[in-house]
């Protein structure tokens, strides 16, 4: 005769905690992906706008427009070389 398996409250709580952690991670991961996608679309829109406006003003987009870079790609003032003293 096979004895039925019994679950304790501790087992049920452990499964509940594991499911809650996985679900929380999945929801956060999806939200971060959506935010990343929105930021990329915004960046592309900004680049298109600046290119169009620069063209209307007669700028050479390679030379005269301000360089637009992705967040984190910019250099800080600490990266600039120190000019020589005269």
pLDDT tens, position by position, 7-57:
899 999 999 999 999 999 999 999 999 999 999 999 888 888 877 776 666
Whether the CB-CB separation of 41 and 68 falls below 8 Å is answered with no
pLDDT attached to residue 68: 52
Alpha-carbon torsion, ordered 71, 73, 75, 79, to 10 deg = 140
Non-local (6+) Cβ contacts of 55 within 8 A are: 61
Burial (CB count <10 Å: 0-12, 13-18, 19+), residue 54: middle
């Amino acid at each position: 005769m096979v004895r039925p398996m019994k679950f304790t409250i501790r087992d049920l709580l452990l499964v509940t905690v594991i499911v809650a952690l996985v679900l929380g991670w999945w929801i956060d991961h999806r939200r971060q992906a959506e935010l990343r996608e929105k930021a990329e679309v915004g960046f592309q829109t900004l680049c298109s706008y600046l290119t169009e406006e620069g063209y209307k003003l007669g700028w050479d987009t390679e030379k005269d427009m301000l360089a637009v870079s992705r967040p984190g790609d910019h250099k800080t003032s600490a990266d600039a070389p120190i000019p020589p003293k005269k």
